[in-house]
Structure 1
């Protein structure tokens, strides 16, 4: 048995032990009446919360035990590992349960693996497919990995630095393995097809030393509800008790398509996408507010500015800064946020209130207004 097989077997055994312990602890539960039916409506919520905790713990175990041996691939490129690891979470099959992506950083190419879990969050699922991102010598091969804006899987992009000839393949997660979906694109790297551009979403990688994304990880809408007073304080629109009218739902500030992968009350972490752009919330910012900021910002646009030129990565944008106001579902009040676009046009950042911050990852050049 290979070392990676022994490691996965050990993780599976650990998860099984957790499942048996949970089962034993629940055997004396008094949450049902004499007929065996639930005594109140909290049982399902409690089960969801327990599943969320199980998933977090299972993913923490993966990161605690991760090794370069887990990325052995006889058919892949030779990797000069740095010894560092990064991770991200993303829903790869639109079931509201986030998968764990782990990257072992290399000097040129870095391998990426996907991990998932059983429905109750106790059994580890480790697809064997390994993805790659990075670049070889000048004019050589290049690779990038993206999540998708619709939760349909992972995109593996490969191209040549000299010719720019590129291919992208969508890989789907079927619950146990990553499999080719049959959707592929062939193009020049500076002429990405519009349907692919709207689908691919950059991954925000986090050091394994930072557990914030796992601490706030949620299944469906079951994330722990952070206190609303831990969020930003209003800078405009009245005080927190003013009762400013707001529907309380993310996206009320605009009509662009969005996919929210976290609860509105989640504090910090990845929140979802707006028009294919990934939205993240800072440590003291709720996802509901972050999504509203993104909706408002992308609906009104940046500008005026000069569009980023894909064929010239050194070409800066001049989108500059802009200011938007958005309403927090937690407080019902309106806040002012100052936003700046990255020089390469591939993201941006907004700050405001009392320490509120919102990150945007993805191409923003299409939102630039003409001069």
Structure 2
């Protein structure tokens, strides 16, 4: 197994509003540059198992009178209300759009999720900072970031996952044209995000019981924060334990249809809209899989605390290319009539007015 290129890079936080620091422009053929600041030695005196825990989330905080969960929710709301007070830095130049996403994931094993704040860039390899709140709502945030997103068609892809036990976070990295995914595990230790030294690779064609994919949401969608439940999307693609069968797609998520690459006005016209919902022009392009017939489709919903639900669907968005982000998934299949399967854990119904309006988007699929 070749050495993993970990994606832990240095960040800086400040107490007042600042301009976001630039990050690296990673093109389709440019590897993501990354730095690791610390690696855990198992069994050492600093092992997390020997450290004092964060306390029981059900216990009221001594100073605020709130439970750990409610104190964390209040602290996280303050971050989402003013995300610009935090800076993000990474190697080289990176153009930030001023948009942010967030996710919730328990990576300390105490039952209270951490907040992951993602700063969106024009190149869509986005730095993510981790915030953790103690029982009094006091925040800590490591001086490191992980990376989430996709560089361009055929380029680097990165994603974040957590463990089923909720005691660490994983950085995954792959390329859209290759099946091999590289994984590295990190733990939150006091005010540091450190590598555990665990690395491995897997084939992305089958789901994994060891990786639970973290899903990000727009910061104006406060449903996940109100629920204070991990925004995870089920098993990540790949890495089953030996002898473990991959779960079959469920909820009617196998369909026949045709892949079409359309501009935003063309897609709006296909859906019977007289205009694009957010003023998108022809610079916005989408790869959509249009079903031969409308079908019952199962996907996750942020309004349902991330749990899968079934709705009627006539198409699925596979990828999109916009002035602000690029995911080339499905573009190479333009015009092909196929039968595709989608695992509900890789699909989401929209919580906004993005195209295709009201239809699910899926980050992975299997060709039958």
Per the normalisation by structure 2, the TM-score is 0.49
Higher percent of residues as helix: 1
Larger Rg: 1
Q: Which structure exhibits the higher relative contact order, with contacts defined as CA atoms closer than 8 Å and separated by 6 or more residues?
A: 2
Higher percent of residues as strand: 2
